[in-house]
Structure 1
Amino acid sequence: MDLVARSAASSASRLVVAGVALLLVGCTGAPEPGVVSPSPTASASAAPSGATPSGADAWDGQVTADVEVIAEELPVPWGLAPLPGGRFLVTMRDDATLAVVHPTGDVEPLAGSGGAQELADQTVADGEGGLLGVAVDPEDAGPVITVFLYRTGETDNAVLRAELDLDSGVLRDLTTVLDGIPKASNHNGGRIALGPDGYLYVATGDAGDPANAQDPESLAGKILRITPDGEPTPGNPDAGSPVWSMGHRNVQGLGWDPSGRMFAGEFGQDELDELNVIEPGGNYGWPEVEGPGDEAGFIDPVAWWPTSEASPSGIAVTGEAVYLAGLRGERLWRVPLLGDASAVADGESPGFGEPQALLEGEFGRLRAVHAGPDGALYVLTNNTDGRGEPTTEDGRVVDDRLLRVTLTPCECTVADD
């Protein structure tokens, strides 16, 4: 079924799953989830205008959620970026295509000519590679907006820039801004984000070679910070280098809280996945350390989970919590930000509450999450990527889906292990 047919099916079968209970999840066996409080010192940065669900300043307790299915039958979606008018731009990893998802659930594929066709022609879907991250300049109101994309090609991973005409659905002026990022069938990273400072942040994986992460000359196993034209950003730790931080195995989530602290979600190997506060020039230990190691020269994560309970891909940061979309864990992890994040401006570093599992087992693998200006979270499932079990209804495959998750503070009962 093509995306136009999928759009019609999605609009006809939208549903609401009300009152999903969110519980703390205990771990059976070692290792166990953990959290550090307070956090490392925040790195200097301008504060973004992130959304806080329901306008709350800080939710230290549990939450409940209502879930609405916005769109269905998206083929292996990966990246998610907001567009004007409540729309979203979604990348399809294996098809190397893009689509606009409307608030009504209608799915509008981009025209298969010009830049869209050029993008598909140069993208090579192999294992975890393909058309991955997408970021949109938040200052663009349209109808023509700037779009950044991360794709796997024949010889490398690269960051591209293009112009998208929202009126015609045409992608044009596709330009490579940064190439030479090592590729592999696994560990390509792929998340990109425009930071509150206006620069582009690029998450890369170690491309299957752990030594890359500790090699300052390699673009693999890093978080990169570049200008929209692909040049190393002024103020980077090493002048003339795009490297912002190193020692990463496979980062696929980037975000900032209202104080300007930068967060990254990272896949572990056999034991622990991580949530890190990113400091410029910081070394996060891979492959010497997985999870907290308390070793000199390496920065420990602020929260961590067994790989069976997380495998975090996209993240979203609001004024009250960090949210991580779990693939293998099939849940959305919530890490509360304790206290008022604005206190960082006064030299304080708000800590982190106990991680809480949301949507556990409800929608399968979760790939991306975005905090919308309406206070809701928008979540992409990822059950059609070859590692999940796509959901069927009346003999029809409905995965993958875009969900709208509305959160509300509550006095929830914590589940026993």
Structure 2
Amino acid sequence: MKAFTSNRRRWSPVRLTAAVVAAVAGVGAVAVPAAAVTGSTIVGVASGRCLDVVGQSQADKAGVDIYDCNGQANQAWTFTAAGELRVYDSPKCLDVAGQATTAPAVVQIYTCNGGANQKWRIDSTGTIVGVQSGLCLDVTGAGTANSTAVGLWTCNGQANQQWRTASGGDTQPPTVPGNPRVSNLACDTVTFAWNASTDNVGVAFYDVYHDGQLIKSVSGATLSTDLTVVPGTTWGLYVNARDAAGNVSQASTTVPITPPQCQADTQPPTAPAALSGTAAGTTVTLRWTAASDNIGVRAYDIYRDNAKIGTVTGTASTPPATTFTDSALAANTTYQYYVVARDAQANVSAHSNTATVTTGGACGASVCAVTQIATDTDIPWGLATLPDGTILYTRRDAQDIVHLNPATGAKTTVGTVPNVQSTDGEGGLTGLAVSSTYGSDHWLYIMHTSPSDNRIVRIKLENDKLTTSSEQILLSGILRNKFHDGGRLRFGPDGKLYAGTGDAQNGDNAQNTTSLNGKVLRLNPDGTVPSDNPFGNYVWSYGHRNPQGLAFDSQGRLWEQEFGNSVMDETNLITKGGNYGWPACEGTSGSCGTAGFITPKHTYPVAEGSCSGIAVVRDVLYVACERGTRMYREVISGSELTNVQTYFNGTYGRLRTVEPAPDGGLWLTTTNNGDKDSIPNNSNEKIFHVTLGT
């Protein structure tokens, strides 16, 4: 829940606690005084009057206005975990009449039905926003008198669009939920429980996640919930506590689960058939006829000269594709291929027929060669090229920086970054950028998680060593959490430093332009705020969930890569002051078509995406994907992304970072092991050079 804020004195928390307890029907209650009213008043900041159902009517389509606060039930509102504003302690919801999405729009009460026109988002400025429309709850004509109608209008930040309740002024997050645990693990369900958090006012909700993806929100009085899980899939479960003001705790520890299969399956798929291959220069395209299975084919593994070189995957509802592109092969060379099918329980088919293909005499393709230049026992995260063509990269969990000579493979650890703390998830030592005037100042710009926040610092590199005494903290106070910490840094052609920040597992942060989270930030190299930033602070764009890719094209435009929750990942073209919609909008789902939200230039199903780093070379965008285990190549044409191609599908596993190399190629890193546990040196990662064609 987002905060209702107040610039007045803080109200008593007793009523708020009662409202929280009643937020989700059917849960147990905590003790409150008998006289406490269920629900909380919502007060207009400009008028001092309460949001009120006209005439105390409980009929569908009854109007809403402002009126003197009187403590009656038609002024008692409860914000639920589903994003509803309920009144009368009954299934009556604040509703947008006719599901209107343009201003002005009428609000009323109506029987709760789960519709998008009954979902609301409340930000830390006290603005109440319709999720479907993106419009703000507004006192008509900026009126302040009794019985002034309330409706929806374009958000403008004025006082007649600001509201407060008893939670005003609360900035203290709950404590971490304790002792997370599971029971009753079955093939498709599990019971997840935890010990209660504490809070200075009261815990309103618990948000349950797996691996950074929100699964479920429950009432603050609920300490156990049943979850739907996927047979055979390993998840890491954890929980955050959230209070009524929208403050979110740090995450609990992680509980790994791997549900059993729902039924024993020992029958392998049939063999794929009719495998054929064609060569175009040094690229081979394979095609085959689908295998069949008693339950379903989940993947095809592709073998070249008896070595596995790629995988095409599907889901329980979508079969895997029956084509594969093998890139960056040697010229004038004959290869032999076969394909096997796998089901969800790892039963493997006999292999297909063998296809023999001979490559051409020259590359003739977009991706020509891949050369491994180094390995590492930790996760290479940020990577930057020095003026002499050598590489620096951060090791996220080991918290140090390595200097790599790609020509010889020689590596030197230049030092450990001070005050870094991992998060048992995605936090740690992340972004890295080299000063545009490095030759004279030797500044390295670094983003990392500290014990209290995420921050951007700069440290000088002298004689191949970090001079930690030179460290300057340029920007601190970026909220941290187990996941959604962002981390990418990039200097723009304007000389400014850009940074991607995650929402810290609280989507409310993303829509609050005074928050540093869920944003693309822009700062001067000395850490000051550029005078032309749109909101007078570090925020350049907002409405982001977890951006981890930033890259500029030849026109100086900024492209951004962003993790979705469970539906779509997205590539965005960033504009100054732009709102990219999270949490109301994910990719093109939800309220993404709402006026004021900027839609992505390309989206990816999460199973084919979870993309992190991006790079632009000759106005072609390259996208490195983790869960999707592939690299996309996308041509920038005008303001659109065209001719999208897939490379290395399963060949190298999860891909984290892609960066331009000085010869016109790419640096590319993997992130296959230990990337969600913060344990140093438990990985086996690779760094590649990719030679690009024309």
Q: TM-score, normalised by structure 1?
A: 0.75
Note if contact 2:379-2:395 (Cα within 8 Å) is conserved in structure 1. Answer: yes
The runs of 5 or more residues in structure 2 that have no matched partner are 1-280, 288-311, 319-363
Aligned partner of 2:594 in structure 1 is 295
Aligned to 1:109: 413
Residue 355 (structure 1) aligned to one of 633, 637, 644: 644
Cα separation, partners in 2 of 1:171 and 1:382, compared to 1, 3 Å: farther
Partner Cα distance (2:551, 2:286) in 1: 24
Which residue matches 2:434?
Answer: 136
8 A contact 2:674–2:683 mirrored in 1: no
1:146 matches 2:449 = no
Q: 1:335-367, CA deviations, whole angstroms, 9 ceiling, x for partnerless residues?
A: 1123xxxxxxxxxx3532132111111111111
Aligned partner of 1:11 in structure 2 is: none
Q: Map of 1:14-413 to 2, 5 A cutoff?
A: 19=282, 63-103=366-406, 104-111=408-415, 116=416, 119-141=417-439, 145-165=442-462, 167-172=463-468, 173-239=470-536, 241-292=537-588, 293-338=592-637, 349-386=638-675, 399-409=684-694
Q: 1:162 to 1:128 in 2, by over 3 A?
A: same
The AA in structure 2 aligned to 1:89 is L
1:22–1:199 distance in 2 versus 1, CA, 3 Å: farther
Instruction: Rate the CA distance shift 1:399–1:65 in 2: closer, same or farther, 3 A.
Output: farther
Name whichever structure is richer in strand by fraction.
Answer: 2
Structure 1: which amino acid aligns with 2:549?
G
User: Offset of 1:65 from its aligned partner?
Assistant: 3.0
RMSD (Å) for aligned C-alpha atoms: 2.5
Larger radius of gyration: 2
Between 126-135 and 72-81, the greater mean CA deviation after superposition: 72-81
Counterpart code for 1:109:
T
* Maintained 8 Å contact 1:369/1:377: yes
Alignment CA distance shift 1:210-1:311 (3 Å)? same
8 Å contact from structure 1 (residues 21, 358) kept in 2: no
Larger RCO (alpha carbons 8 Å, 6+ apart):
1
Indicate how the Cα distance of structure 1 residues 208 and 21 shifts in structure 2: closer, same or farther if over 3 A, else same.
farther
Give % identity. 39
* Runs of 5+ consecutive residues of structure 1 not aligned to the other structure: 1-17, 31-60, 339-348, 389-396, 410-417
Q: In structure 1, what residue type is equivalent to 2:439?
A: A
CA distance in 2 between counterparts of 1:23 and 1:375 reads: 28
**Native 8 Å contact 2:425 2:675 kept in 1:** no
Q: Does the 8 A contact of 2:673 with 2:683 survive in 1?
A: no
**CA shift in 2, pair 1:135/1:72, >3 Å:** same
**Aligned pairs, number:** 336
Q: 1:182 to 1:319 in 2, by over 3 A?
A: same
Question: Cα 1:26–1:364, aligned 2, differ >3 Å: closer, same or farther?
Answer: closer
1:121 CA drift (Å): 4.0
CA distance in 2, matches of 1:62, 1:355: 14
The 1:401/1:20 distance shift into structure 2, 3 A limit, reads farther
Contact residue 624 and residue 632 of structure 2 kept, 8 A: yes
SS at structure 2 position matched to 1:110: strand
Give the letter aligned to residue 295 of structure 1: T
Match of 1:208, SS state, is: coil
CA distance in 2, matches of 1:135, 1:326: 21
**Structure 1's 63 and 22: CA in aligned 2 closer, same or farther, altered over 3 A?**
farther
Question: In structure 2, how many angstroms separate the alpha carbons of the residues matched to 1:255 and 1:22?
Answer: 30
Q: 1:27 to 1:162 in 2, by over 3 A?
A: same
1:107 alignment partner AA: K
Say whether the 8 Å CA contact 1:136–1:147 is kept in structure 2.
Answer: yes
Alpha-carbon contact 1:21-1:64 (below 8 Å) kept = no
User: Counterpart amino acid of 2:603?
Assistant: W
